[in-house]
Chains A and B, each alone.
Chain A
Amino acid sequence: MDGIGAGSGGGIPVVNIISVRQVTKTFYEHQPNEFTAVKEISIDIAAGGTTVLAGPSGSGKTTLLALMGLISRPTSGRISILGKETSLLGERLRTLFRRQHVGFIFQHFQLIGDLNARDNLDLVLYQEGLPLKSIRARRDQLLERFGLLGKASYKAAVLSGGEKQRLAIARSLMNDPEIVLVDEPTAHLDTALSLDVIELFRQLNRGGKTLVIASHDPLVVNSGIAARIIDLRDGRVVQES
C-alpha cells in the first residue's frame, strides 16, 4: 500500500506506481466451475520502466493485468495505483481513475469493427467532456504517429492485423495515461510486425510511460525491452529477474 518502497534488488528508493498486495482472484465463486486465476500475488511495479509478465497461457497473466488495470476487482487483497488504494472504490470512481491514468491494449484488440478508426479513438474521451477540438486534435496526432491517417475513415474491421494492433495502441494512449498495460501484443502478428510493435513500445517507454506487458512470446521476453521479467505459473509468481 506504500507509494514509496524498495524495489527488488537495489537499495535505491524507487517510486512504485503499482502495488499489488496478496491479491487473489477467483471466478465463478461458489459455482461448480469455480477456479482461481491469481493466487495471493504481491508485486511492485516501478515507475517509468517496462515489466514483462511471462508464463504459459492459463498462468494468470491476463487476469493480473486486468486487476492492475482496474478492469477487474480482486476477490481479496489490495491494489494501489499511483499511491491510491483502489480495491474498495465503487465502480464509478474506479472507472474515473482508470480513465485518467491507465491505458489498456487487449489481446484480441477489442476494437468496434463497425466504427471507423476515428470513432474508435474518439469515444474514449466522450465521457470526459472535453471540447470537440481537443479530442480531434489528439486523435489526429495519434493517427499520424502510428501511420494510420490514411486509414482514418476505414472501418476497423477491414484493417489488417498490424493496423489493428497499431490502432489498439493508439486508443490506449488517447487519454494520455501514465500506465499502459498490454496483453499479448504479438499474438496475431508475424515476426516483422512483432518487432515493429516491440520497437513502438520502446518508444513509449522512452516517452515516460510505465509499461506492463503480458506475453509468452519469446520474441518479447528476450527482446531486452524489459527492465524486469516476472514469471508466472498457475497464478503464482515463480521467478523474477
Chain B
Amino acid sequence: MIWNGWVLALITGQIGVVAINATAFANAFRIIFHWNTSSMSARQLDLERRSELIATIVSWSLLFQVFSLVVFEITARSLASFIPGAMCTTGTLQAHPLGWPILFVKMSALYLYGWWTVINHVDMQVEGFPLTKLKNWYMVVLFPLLALDLLMQVVYFTGLDPSVISSCCGVIFEVGAEGFGSSVASLPPKGTQVALTGFVLVLIISSVLGKWITTDIGKIVYSLGSLAGLIVGVAGVIAFIAPYTYMMPALHCPFIFLDQEHLNYGYLVYMPLFGASFLGTSVGILVTLENRFPSLKLTVDRISLNFLRYSGGLWGLFLLFAYAPIVKFWLETGGTADLFRVGY
C-alpha cells in the first residue's frame, strides 16, 4: 500500500462529499414516494423544502467533484516516484486495474452532476414541478456511482504495490506500439489536426447559426457532436497538442502538461473542452425533456439557445489554446519546420 499526505487529503475530501450526498439520496427517496403536486398538506410543503436541500447539495457537489478530479490527478502524480517504472500520472494509473476506471468515473460524475443541475434549473422555472420525479430518480441512480467512486479509490490506494513495475507514459502512449493509448498516439498528426479543427469549426458555426437551427434534430445532432468533440479533443491532445506543448514529438502524455513545470497549461486546454462538451450535450438533454414535457418549451428554448452560444464560444477557446503551442513552435522555427518530421 502506498500512502502519503495527498491520498489522505483526497480520501478525506471524498468522504465529506459522499456523506453529504447520502443525505440527498435519502431525501430523494422520500420525495419519490410522497410527492403530490396538487396537495397542500404540510407534508408536501416539507417535501418542497427537502427538494431545496437536494438542489443545494448537488450544486455544491458539482464544485467538489471538480476538486476531486483535479486532486486525484495530482495525487496520482505525487505517487509516481514510488512506483517503479512510473514517471507521471499515467504510470500510477497503470499500476492497478482500477486506476483508469477511477479517472473515467470521476469525469463522468462531473457531467452527470452538471446535467442534474441543468434539469433542476429548468424544473424551477416552470409551474407544476414537472421534472421533480425525474430529478429524484436521477439522484437515486447517481449516488451509488459516487459511493462507488470512494470505494474504488480506497481499494486502489491500498492495493498499490511498490514492488510491481508499471509502465510509464512513454510506453503507454508510444507511437507504433500496441495498446489503446498507443493507437491514439500513433494517429497521423497532420490528419488529426485537420480532423479536429474541422470538426470543432463545424460545431462553432452551428452554434453561431443556432438562432436559425431551431429544429430538434439539429440540436440533437449538435449535442452528439459535442460528445464526439470531447473524444476527438482528447485524442487531439494525445496526438498532437501535448507533443507541441512539450516540444517533444515522442512525448504524448496527456497529464504532464498539467504540472507546474509547464505552468499548468493543460488546464487551459481541458477546461474549455469539458465546458463546451458539457453545454453542448446539455442541449440534447433539454430537447429530449421538451418533447416529453411540452409545458417546458419556452424556458427550454431560451436556455438551449444560451447554452449553444456559450458552448460555441468555449469550443473556440479550446481551439485557441490547443493551437497556441503549435503557433508558438512555428514562430520559433520560422514557420517551416514540422515537429513530427524532426522527431522521426
Chain A residues in the interface with B (C-beta under 8 A)? 29-30, 73-76, 87-93
What 9 pairs across the A-B complex have the smallest Cβ distances? A92-B124, A29-B42, A91-B48, A93-B127, A90-B129, A73-B40, A90-B48, A89-B127, A88-B38
Closest CB in chain B relative to A92 CB, distance in Å: 5
From B40, B48, B124, B129, name the one whose CB has the most chain A CB atoms within 10 angstroms.
B40
CB-based contact B124/A87 at 8 Å: no
CB-based contact B127/A75 at 8 Å: no
12 A-B residue contacts at CB 8 Å?
Answer: A73-B40, A73-B45, A87-B40, A88-B37, A88-B38, A88-B40, A90-B124, A90-B129, A91-B48, A91-B52, A92-B124, A93-B127
A88 cross-chain contacts in B, Cβ below 8 A: 37-38, 40
Residue of B nearest to A77 (CB): B40
Closest CB in chain A relative to B204 CB, distance in Å: 30
Beyond the given A73-B40, A75-B40, please list 4 additional residue pairs across the A-B interface where CB-CB is below 8 A.
Answer: A76-B40, A89-B127, A90-B124, A91-B48
Q: A29 vs B127: C-alpha distance in the bound complex, in angstroms? A: 26
CB-based contact A90/B42 at 8 Å: no
CB proximity to A under 8 Å, residues B31-51: 37-38, 40, 42, 45, 48
A90 cross-chain contacts in B, Cβ below 8 A: 48, 124, 127, 129
Residue-wise, chain B 84-125 has the 8 Å CB interface mask toward A (1 for contact) of 000000000000000000000000000000000000000010
Closest CB in chain B relative to A80 CB, distance in Å: 14
From B37, B42, B124, B129, name the one whose CB has the most chain A CB atoms within 10 angstroms.
B42
Q: A29 vs B42: C-alpha distance in the bound complex, in angstroms? A: 8
B48 cross-chain contacts in A, Cβ below 8 A: 90-91
Q: A115 vs B232: C-alpha distance in the bound complex, in angstroms? A: 55
CB-based contact B127/A74 at 8 Å: no
Closest CB in chain B relative to A224 CB, distance in Å: 38
B38 cross-chain contacts in A, Cβ below 8 A: 88
Residue-wise, chain B 45-72 has the 8 Å CB interface mask toward A (1 for contact) of 1001000100000000000000000000
Residue-wise, chain B 245-273 has the 8 Å CB interface mask toward A (1 for contact) of 00000000000000000000000000000
A76 cross-chain contacts in B, Cβ below 8 A: 40
Q: A89 vs B52: C-alpha distance in the bound complex, in angstroms? A: 15
Q: A92 vs B42: C-alpha distance in the bound complex, in angstroms? A: 17
Q: A76 vs B40: C-alpha distance in the bound complex, in angstroms? A: 7
Closest CB in chain A relative to B330 CB, distance in Å: 46
Q: A30 vs B46: C-alpha distance in the bound complex, in angstroms? A: 15
CB proximity to A under 8 Å, residues B128-147: 129
CB proximity to A under 8 Å, residues B160-180: none
B37 cross-chain contacts in A, Cβ below 8 A: 88
Q: A87 vs B48: C-alpha distance in the bound complex, in angstroms? A: 14
Residue of A nearest to B42 (CB): A29
CB-based contact A74/B129 at 8 Å: no
Q: A90-B48, A90-B129 are in contact. Are A74 and B124 (CB under 8 A)?
A: no
B129 cross-chain contacts in A, Cβ below 8 A: 90
Closest CB in chain A relative to B93 CB, distance in Å: 43
A74 cross-chain contacts in B, Cβ below 8 A: 40
Q: A100 vs B124: C-alpha distance in the bound complex, in angstroms? A: 17
Q: A90 vs B120: C-alpha distance in the bound complex, in angstroms? A: 14
Closest CB in chain B relative to A93 CB, distance in Å: 6
Closest CB in chain A relative to B255 CB, distance in Å: 41
Q: A74 vs B129: C-alpha distance in the bound complex, in angstroms? A: 19
Q: A91 vs B124: C-alpha distance in the bound complex, in angstroms? A: 10
Q: A89 vs B48: C-alpha distance in the bound complex, in angstroms? A: 11
Closest CB in chain A relative to B132 CB, distance in Å: 9
